[in-house]
């Protein structure tokens, strides 16, 4: 179980750097839920991966020599839903609205 200071740190990071999505899955009715962080600070992304209980993704090569390497991590599906529900009370109004929208999409999937 995570300590409150770790949850608050993660909520703050996701508030500014995170992406919350409900991605369509082709012909499947239920969207795939996703929380993702991508940034150039490897140590920060590694810490998020540790909290999420997953691995750092293969880094994206810089587009130009002056650009930095981008590291990313994400959780999807039921694990993402659990994180969204856990972090919800710690998020700002805009992120809370996005989480409600995503959960609504998962509860009422589109018809095929």
Q: Is residue 45 part of a domain?
A: yes
- Summarize pLDDT for 30-55 with one digit per residue, the tens: 678 999 999 999 999 999 999 999 99
pTM value is: 0.84
| Residue 102 tokens, joined | 């995503």
Q: Domain for residue 30, yes or no?
A: yes
Give the structural domain span for 59. 4-107
Quick check: is 42 in a domain? yes
Per-residue confidence (pLDDT) for residue 26, from 0 to 100: 65
The predicted-structure confidence for 49-59, as pLDDT tens digits, reads as follows 999 999 988 77
As averages over each run of 10 residues, the pLDDT of the chain (112 residues) reads 92 96 72 92 96 87 82 94 96 96 76 42
Query: Number of folded domains in the chain?
Result: 1
Within-domain flag for 90: yes
């Amino acid at each position: 179980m995570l300590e409150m200071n770790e949850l608050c740190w993660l909520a703050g990071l996701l508030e500014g750097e995170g992406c919350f999505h409900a991605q369509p899955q082709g012909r499947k009715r239920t969207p795939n839920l996703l929380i993702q962080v991508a940034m150039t600070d490897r140590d920060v992304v590694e810490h998020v991966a540790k909290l999420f209980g997953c691995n750092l993704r293969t880094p994206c090569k810089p587009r130009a020599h002056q650009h930095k390497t981008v590291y990313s991590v994400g959780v999807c599906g039921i694990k993402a839903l659990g994180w969204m529900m856990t972090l919800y009370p710690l998020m700002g109004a805009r992120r809370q609205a996005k989480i409600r929208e995503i959960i609504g999409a998962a509860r009422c999937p589109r018809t095929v």
